[in-house]
């Protein structure tokens, strides 16, 4: 680099040799071209490193979001049995005349509040009712029933509610499925 900063005396006037000047100018032009090439390479390398850093930031943000969603999904999955128990307890308490009204109301309020918190996090119940078509992507057939009231391959009863979490299936709805009389005799669904 010391060579880059040396001072040059360029003879001027009658003492100047034209060939020496032309040689010196050509040499300086070559050094300038080399310096420009080095600067362009270093600029390109700097741009690559900046892009790599930006990509790493984006990747870390995606990984963080994915980790948070996975943790949320796992926590919500662990809380689902609690929510189901609260709903069952509220229904059983309401049906039992011996349970005081304020206890029934407290359990119903608790079930409602837990449900609201989980819905705020992205939990949605899968709508399902008797007579709905059986959908193996959303329903889990745990029993079959032959009944003339409903057509085959429809839901006869909802045994346990199913849920979606942030647009993905968390737990399928457990259902009893209607089958044709021939299917019921064979024991298949």
Task: For each of the domains in the chain, give its residue range(s) and CATH number, in order of start.
Answer: 17-121 (3.90.20), 125-186 (2.30.22.10)
Q: Answer whether 180's CB lies under 8 Å from 153's CB.
A: no
Q: In the prediction, which pLDDT does 159 show?
A: 93
Q: 72 Cβ partners below 8 Å, 6+ apart?
A: 121, 122, 165, 166
- Profile the chain (189 residues) by mean pLDDT over runs of 10 residues: 55 67 90 95 95 96 92 91 91 91 93 93 93 95 89 93 93 94 58
Q: 103 Cβ partners below 8 Å, 6+ apart?
A: 93
Q: In the prediction, which pLDDT does 149 show?
A: 85
Q: In the prediction, which pLDDT does 184 show?
A: 54
Q: Does the pTM exceed 0.85?
A: no
Beta strand pairing status for 139-145 and 173-178?
parallel
């Amino acid at each position: 680099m010391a060579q880059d900063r040396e001072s040059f005396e360029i003879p001027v006037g009658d003492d100047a040799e034209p060939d020496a000047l032309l040689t010196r100018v050509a040499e300086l032009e070559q050094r300038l071209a080399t310096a420009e090439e080095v600067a362009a390479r270093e600029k390109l390398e700097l741009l690559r490193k900046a892009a790599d850093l930006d990509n790493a930031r984006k990747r870390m943000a995606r990984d963080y979001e994915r980790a948070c969603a996975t943790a949320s999904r796992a926590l919500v999955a662990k809380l689902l049995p609690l929510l189901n128990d609260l709903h069952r307890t509220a229904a059983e308490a309401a049906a039992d005349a011996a349970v005081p009204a304020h206890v029934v109301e407290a359990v119903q309020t608790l079930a409602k509040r837990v449900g609201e918190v989980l819905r705020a996090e992205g939990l949605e119940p899968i709508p399902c009712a008797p007579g709905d078509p059986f959908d193996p992507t959303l329903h889990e057939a745990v029993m079959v029933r032959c009944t003339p009231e409903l057509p085959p391959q429809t839901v006869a009863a909802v045994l346990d509610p199913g849920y979606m979490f942030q647009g993905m299936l968390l737990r399928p709805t457990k259902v009893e499925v209607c089958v044709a009389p021939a299917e019921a005799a064979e024991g298949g669904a």
